[in-house]
Chains A and B, each alone.
Chain A
Amino acid sequence: MTLSPGLHAFLGQLINGLTVGSFYALIALGYTMVYGVLSMVNFAHGDIFMVGAYCGLFTIGRLQSIGYLETNPVLAIVVTFMVGMLGASLTGVLVERLAYRPVRRAGRLAALISAIGASIILQESVRLVPTIFKAILDIKIGSHNLFPDAFISGLLNLAKDFGGSAAKTYPAILGTGGFTLAGVFISYGRVLIVVLSLIIMLALYLLVQYTRIGRAMRAVSEDKDTASLMGVNVNRTISTTFFIGSALAGIAGVMVGLFYLQIRVDMGFVPGIKAFTSAVLGGIGNIPGAMLGGYILGLVEVLSVQVLPAVYKDVVAFVILILTLIFMPNGLLGNRKFLKKL
């Protein structure tokens, strides 16, 4: 079958949009879940995504250096996702505990400032990891190093993947393989990302709708006092929400690393804002809305490249954000109630 060149390019962009949309949707879910339970925008969420990417890189780097990535790539990737997820989750829980809980009753502005502070601290902490390691290792007693040389080189080697100002690189494990459908090439990497994202999102939806913890999350997001009267431990439910939302960001971080290869400590900023846009577009606080918003934004963005110069790509997201806030602040699926809280 042959397609006209225009349609051919369009289909290619569609696949691209679904891939990018998956990243946005996964990250947007964290914004929307946290907004649901705390009515605040977690501006450190993009950085939690970044921490996930670095934890994944650290893991896959170690697995590569012991040769495990070659001998058992599937398991190695699974382990990488698990560690990236867990690293992001624990970071998210810690951020809530240290930066948001103490100011929970202090108003919106305090929470916002605390979130921006948390974002800066996360980025700088990751950036400084190698520097801190070096400083510790350079401790000398007289003219002798405190630590033996082998220990020093071992630790430095460990720290080299984690953090620093320069971009770091994932091993190109996804490869360039793929298949052709109706004349359009689709790489296995994209299939992995889109399918995995959809499975994870379905699992999240089922968790929120049909499990005890999901019901607790919905109750807390609607009314904390009444939820606690039902026997829900509100603080623990908020921690769980951060854990799950951050896990999704961690998965997205590992995916971005595997797919684009390069990661940086400031990589969370632009995807963070775009995912936030997705959440607002779908209706912040609404879980299916965040998924929908993510895919719509991903598709609109790649399709805009067809008609506009590529440098405008990022502008498209911001225009959507502003238009949504002006004309449709509840978003596509949003609940009217959330608007009053904003």
Chain B
Amino acid sequence: MALLTVQDVHTSYGKIRALHGVSLVVEPGEIVCLIGANGAGKTTILKTICGLIKPSQGKILFAGEDLTRLPPHEIVRRGIALVPEGRQVFSRMTIQENLEMGAFTRTNRPAIAADIEKIYILFPRLKERRKQLSGTLSGGEQQMLAIARAMMAQPRLLLLDEPSMGLSPILLESIFATILEINRQGITVLLVEQNTFASLEIAHRGYVIQTGKIVFDDSAAGLKDNDMVKKTYLGIA
């Protein structure tokens, strides 16, 4: 059974229609990437999946359960975590507090503390700055923190919205390595990226979205060979 099924979802912002019948499937254990130009609706899909915006039509199923009418704080309890576009760490909280916020749905304190220690092994820079306000972190460090915070919810499905935005090539590599590592631990990933090349390197499959509609999908290798993808998203003539 698919882990996530998005069925003919339509979403609007007031009168502005952003999604016109999006359908996609994510199987357990996959990394699936979502490719599209600015304004195509990538962020809207992720927000609709995690309940921040309600679709006017269509259904979202997670492990067979219908999430469509649930509020975001219930959806995260079901096992979906989002790393939002532009990071959105709590800048007036310390790094440690941000990680604890990530574990807000959990109650087992020793397990949470142990997970935070694991995070600090994965991201030693965060450990050095654990008592520092997150607003003082660099962009790359904030992105690490946003991913780490999402991991603290112990999600089965991790949604990432442009995790490499504004990062140097070296940091970009380490973010993608981190995503691969997270996936190896058994967490399914739905990845939105402007950096099509890098995301097709780590993804199993991908969907291409144009003005609120999925136009096609294929394996990562298939997408890399596709003429339209090459021209539009990889910049290869």
Question: Do A and B belong to a common assembly?
Answer: yes
Give me the interface of A with B, judged by CB distance under 8 Å.
212, 215-216, 218-219, 222-223, 225-234, 335, 337
**Contact sample, A vs B, 19 pairs, CB 8 Å cutoff:** A215-B93, A215-B100, A219-B101, A223-B88, A223-B90, A225-B52, A225-B88, A226-B84, A226-B90, A227-B101, A228-B51, A228-B52, A228-B73, A229-B50, A229-B52, A230-B76, A231-B73, A231-B104, A231-B105
Say whether B57 faces chain A, with CB atoms less than 8 Å apart: no
Residues A228 and B72 in contact in the complex (CB < 8 Å), given A215-B100, A215-B101, A219-B101: yes
Task: Give the shortest distance, in Å, between A184 (CB) and chain B (any CB).
Answer: 41
> Within 8 Å CB of A337, what residues of B?
91-92
Interface residues on B, range: 20 to 34
Asked if B81 lies at the interface with its beta carbon under 8 angstroms from chain A, I say: yes
Q: Chain B's nearest CB lies how many Å from the CB of A222?
A: 5
Give the nearest-CB partner of A218 in chain B.
B93
User: Which of B152-174 touch A at CB < 8 Å?
Assistant: 153
**Is B8 positioned at the interface, with any CB of A under 8 Å from its CB?**
no
Kindly report which residue of chain A lies nearest to residue B149, judged by CB atoms.
A230
Contact B153 A231 (CB under 8 A): yes
Question: Is the pair A218, B76 in contact by a Cβ cutoff of 8 Å?
Answer: no
Check B93–A231 contact: CB distance below 8 A: no
| Cα A340 to Cα B101 with chains together (Å) | 25
A230 touches B102 (CB 8 A): yes
Q: Closest CB of chain A to B23's CB: distance in Å?
A: 24
In the complex, what residues of B have CB within 8 A of residue A212's CB?
A: 104
* Docked CA distance A228–B74 (Å): 9
Shortest Cβ gap from A287 to chain B (Å):
12
B89-143 residues with Cβ-Cβ distance < 8 A to A are 90-93, 97, 100-102, 104-105
Decide if B77 is an interface residue (CB 8 Å cutoff). yes
In the bound complex, residues from chain A placing their C-beta under 8 Å from that of B153 are: 230-231
* Dominant SS among interface residues on chain B: loop
* Chain B nearest CB, measured from A285 CB (Å): 10
CA distance A212 to B97 in the complex (A): 10
Enumerate chain B residues within 8 angstroms of A230, measured Cβ to Cβ: 73, 76, 101-102, 104-105, 149, 153
- Chain A nearest CB: distance from B187 CB in Å? 16
Confirm or deny: B190 has a beta carbon within 8 angstroms of a beta carbon on chain A. Answer: no
Asked if B71 lies at the interface with its beta carbon under 8 angstroms from chain A, I say yes
Q: Are B73 and A234 in contact (CB under 8 A)?
A: yes
Q: What's the least CB distance linking A170 to chain B, in Å?
A: 41
Encode B24-44 as 1/0 by CB contact (under 8 A) with A.
000000000000000000000
Once the chains bind, are B84 and A218 in contact (CB under 8 Å)? Answer: no
Any A CB within 8 A of the CB of B82: yes
- Tell me whether A232 and B90 are in contact (CB under 8 A): no
A228 to B52 Cα, complex, angstroms: 8
Q: Most chain-A CB neighbours within 10 Å: which of B91, B101, B104? A: B101
B110 shortest CB reach to chain A, Å: 16
Can you name 8 extra interface pairs (CB under 8 A) apart from A219-B93, A222-B90, A230-B105?
A: A215-B97, A215-B100, A219-B104, A222-B92, A223-B88, A228-B51, A228-B52, A230-B153
Given contacts A218-B93, A219-B93, A222-B92, contact A232 B104 (CB under 8 A): yes
- Return the 4 tightest CB-CB contacts between A and B, nearest first: A231-B105, A228-B72, A231-B104, A230-B104
Nearest chain B CB to A227 CB, angstrom units:
8
A229 contact set on B, CB distance < 8 A: 50, 52, 72, 76, 81-82, 84
Alpha-carbon distance between A55 and B77 when the two chains are bound, in angstroms: 40
Whole-angstrom CA separation of A232 from B153 in the bound complex:
12
B97 to chain A, nearest CB (A): 7
Minimum distance in angstroms from B192 CB to a CB of chain A: 15
A234 to B93, CA, bound (A): 18
How far, in Å, is A219 (CB) from chain B's closest CB? 6
A216: nearest residue on chain B (CB-CB)?
A: B104
A233 — which chain B residues lie within 8 A by C-beta?
71, 73
- Residue in chain B with minimal CB distance to A222: B90
B 51-65 to A, binary, CB cutoff 8 A, 1 in contact else 0? 110000000000000
The reply to whether B92 and A335 contact each other, CB–CB distance below 8 Å, is: yes
* CA of A227 to CA of B52, assembled, Å: 11
- In this complex, the member of B71, B72, B93, B97 whose beta carbon has the largest number of chain A beta carbons within 10 angstroms is B72
- Is A231 a contact of B90 with CB atoms below 8 Å? no
CB distance from A213 to the nearest CB of B (A): 11
Closest-CB distance, B160 to chain A (whole angstroms):
13
Residues of A within 8 A of B71 (CB): 228, 233
Contacting residues, chain A, for B97 (C-beta < 8 A):
215
Which residues of B sit under 8 angstroms from A226, Cβ to Cβ? 84, 88, 90
Chain B residues, CB < 8 A from A222:
90-93
Closest to B82 in A: A229
Most A CB within 10 A of own CB, among B50, B73, B77: B73
Of the listed residues A229, A230, A231, the one surrounded by the most CB atoms of chain B closer than 10 A to its CB is A229
**Complex Cα–Cα for A212 and B104 (A):** 8
